[in-house]
Chain A
Amino acid sequence: MDTQNILEMRNITKKFANVKACNGVTFFVKPGEVHALLGENGAGKTTLMNILYGFYRPDEGEIYLKGQLTDIHSPKDAISLGIGMVHQHFMLVPTLTVAENVILGLTANLKKLDMEKAVEKVQQLSDQFNFQVNAKALVKDLSIGAQQKVELLKAIYRGADILILDEPTAVLTPQEVKELFTILRQFVAMGKSVIFISHKLWEVMQISNRVTVLRQGGFVDVVQTAETTKEVLADMMVGRSVVLEYAKTPVASSEALLALHGVCAEGDLPVSCLNEFSLCIKKGEVVGVAGVDGNGQRELAESIMGLRAVTKGQVCLNGKDITDMPIRKRIKLGMAHIPEDRLKQGLVLDFTVAENMVLDTYDEPPLTCKGIFQPQKMQDIAQELIKEFDVRPPNYDAIVRNFSGGNQQKVILAREFTRSPQFILAVQPTRGLDIGATEFVHRRLLAEKEKGAAVLMISADLDEVLLVSDRVIVMYEGRIMGEFIPGEVLITDIGLMMGGTPQERLGVCE
Chain B
Amino acid sequence: MNIKLGNSQIVIERKPPTKTMFSDLIGPLIALFLALLVSAAIIALSGVNPILAYTSMIDGAFGNFRSFAETVVKATPLLLAALGLTISYRTGLVSIGAEGQIVMGGLMATLAGIYFTMLPGFVLIPLVMLAGMLGGGLWGAIPGYLKAKLGVSEVINTIMLNYIAIFFVTYLLDIPLREPPGYFPQSAMIAKQAWLPIMVTGTRFHLGVLFAIIAILVVYFLLWRSPIGYQMRAVGLSQTTAHTSGINVKKNLVLAMGLSGAFAGLAGMVEVAAIHHRLVNSFSSGYGFDAMAVALLGKLHPAGVVIAALFFGALRVGANMMQRTAQVPASLVFVIQGLVILFVLMDALLRQYSIRIVKEDVVHG
Contacts and interface: CB of A to CB of B under 8 A. Distances in A.
Interface of A: 56-57, 305, 307, 326-331, 337, 339, 344-351, 355, 358-360, 362-363, 368, 371-373, 375, 399, 401-402
Nearest to A341: B240
Contact of A346 (B224, B231, B244): B244
Nearest to A368: B227
A128 to B, nearest CB: 38
Contact of B247 (A328, A344, A358): A328
Interface string B9-34: 00000001101000000000000000
A100 to B, nearest CB: 27
A301 B230 CA distance: 26
B242 interface: yes
B241 A347 contact: yes
Please tell me the size bucket of the interface on B: 20 to 34
B245 A359 contact: yes
Given A56-B365, A351-B234, A359-B234, A373 B245 contact: no
B301 interface: no
B248 to A, nearest CB: 8
Given A348-B238, A349-B238, A363 B243 contact: no
Given A344-B238, A348-B238, A402-B16, A362 B230 contact: yes
A349 B227 contact: no
Contacts of A337: 244-245
Interface string B222-256: 00111101110110011011111111100000000
A373 B225 CA distance: 5
Contacts of B240: 344-345
23 contacts: A56-B365, A305-B244, A327-B245, A328-B248, A330-B246, A337-B244, A344-B238, A344-B241, A345-B244, A347-B241, A348-B238, A351-B234, A355-B230, A355-B233, A359-B241, A362-B230, A362-B231, A371-B226, A372-B225, A373-B227, A373-B230, A375-B225, A402-B16
Contact of B226 (A351, A360, A372): A372
Interface of B: 16-17, 19, 224-227, 229-231, 233-234, 237-238, 240-248, 364-365
Given A348-B237, A351-B234, A362 B227 contact: yes
A325 to B, nearest CB: 10
A349 B16 CA distance: 12
A359 B226 CA distance: 13
Contacts of A359: 234, 241, 245
A56 B365 CA distance: 5
7 smallest A-B Cβ distances: which pairs?
A328-B246, A327-B246, A363-B227, A345-B244, A348-B238, A402-B16, A348-B237
Nearest to B15: A402
B246 A331 contact: yes
Nearest to A350: B237
A57 B364 contact: yes
Contacts of A355: 230, 233-234
A267 B157 CA distance: 33
Contacts of B227: 362-363, 368, 371, 373
A307 B243 contact: yes
Contacts of B229: 373
Nearest to A327: B246
A223 B245 CA distance: 48
Nearest to A363: B227
A57 B244 CA distance: 38
A397 to B, nearest CB: 10
A328 B237 CA distance: 19
B237 A375 contact: no
Chain B CB within 10 Å, residue with most, of A56, A326, A348, A368: A348
Contacts of A362: 227, 230-231
Nearest to A401: B16
A402 B226 CA distance: 26
Given A345-B241, A348-B242, A368-B227, 4 more contacts: A345-B244, A347-B238, A359-B245, A372-B226
A373 B224 contact: yes
Given A368-B227, A372-B226, A348 B243 contact: no
A331 B229 CA distance: 20
B255 to A, nearest CB: 15
Contact of B233 (A56, A344, A351, A375): A351
Nearest to A302: B244
A351 B223 CA distance: 13
Contacts of B243: 307, 327
Contacts of A373: 224-227, 229-230
A427 to B, nearest CB: 11
Contacts of A344: 238, 240-241
A307 B224 contact: no
A360 B226 CA distance: 15
A329 B16 CA distance: 36
Nearest to B242: A348
A350 B90 CA distance: 12
A154 B328 CA distance: 62
Contacts of A307: 243-244
A360 B227 CA distance: 11
A360 B245 contact: yes
Nearest to A329: B246
A135 to B, nearest CB: 33
A50 to B, nearest CB: 11
Nearest to A360: B245
Contacts of B230: 355, 358, 362-363, 373
B294 to A, nearest CB: 22
Contacts of B16: 401-402
Contacts of A368: 227
Contacts of B231: 362
Contacts of A347: 238, 241
A430 B229 CA distance: 32
A179 to B, nearest CB: 35
B2 to A, nearest CB: 13
A315 to B, nearest CB: 16
A203 B364 CA distance: 36
A173 B220 CA distance: 54
Contacts of A346: 241, 244
A61 B11 CA distance: 27
Given A307-B243, A307-B244, A345-B244, A351 B237 contact: yes
